[in-house]
Every structure is written in C-alpha cells, then in structure tokens.
Amino acid sequence: MPKINTYLSFDGTAAEAMRHYEKVLGAKLDNLMRVGDMPDAARMPGASPDRVLHAQLSFADGGVLMASDRMGGGAHEGMKGFSVALTYESPEEAKRVFNALAENGMVLLPLQPSFFAKTFGMLIDRFGTPWTISGGAAQA
C-alpha cells in the first residue's frame, strides 16, 4: 500500500511558505535544497540558484508535506483543483491554525459548525495554497 503525500508547487516562494508551515503546523523542515546547492547546477540554465528544488516537512504522525518552486517557463497558473485537508481533535486548535494560515490570504468559508465537524472552514493562504480545516467530530 503506498503512502500518499502532498507535493506543492510554488513560483519562487517555496522556502518562505515551507518555513511558515513549519511554524504554524508544528512540523519539522527536514530538507530544503535549492538549485544552487546542486553539484551540477549549471545543467539548469535559466533557473535561479535561489529556487527550491525540494523541501520536505515531516509531522509527528509520519505525514509529509513536500514542495518545490516551478522551474519551467510560461506563466504560473497557481494551485488548482485540490486542497490540503487538516483535521484537528479540537475546534480551538483548528481555529488557531485557520487564523494563522488565513493571515494575508483569502477566506473562502469562515470557520463554522457543520454536520461532520464542530467547526469547518476553507481558505487560500498568502502563498496560494488551498486549505480545508476541521476541528472536533460532530455529535451524532
């Protein structure tokens, strides 16, 4: 059975985003490799040495969130068609994380009670990552 992990693609903000997520989500930034760190960086013409080739956050439960900066040409179309889903045991912890990720971002659905969780909300953070956050199981 494979482990499913999320891999995000940024347009030059991967390092800043992953450091922010490390702090907000309580994860550990295990790896942050930039183009300039490669022994053969010259093989990537046009790629800024500051762009992130690979970054990885590790969580206590074994989960992983990975990211890199886009290397190809053309316009970056942003992240679409998915969201990173976070589920917390308590509505209070969900609220703390939601508010931290929503800062300078766009709230799509404010935290509110739902039929499946005591609180649930959706947002796109300042880096363009879409999130869904829930806290506390709803009472049957």
Query: What burial class does residue 40 get, using C-beta atoms within 10 Å of its C-beta: 0-12 exposed, 13-18 middle, 19+ buried?
Result: exposed
pLDDT band at 140 (very low <50, low <70, confident <90, very high): low
At residue 109's C-alpha, the angle toward residues 86 and 80, to 5°, is 65
CATH class of the structural domain 84-137: alpha beta
* pLDDT at 72 > cutoff 80: no
Q: What is the tens place of the pLDDT at every residue in 88-125?
A: 999 999 999 999 999 999 999 999 999 999 999 999 99
Same fold, 6-69 and 84-137: yes
**Sequence spans of domains, the chain:** 6-69, 84-137
49: which 2 tokens?
A: 């040495």
Predicted TM-score (pTM) of the model is 0.90
Fold topology of 6-69: 3.30.720
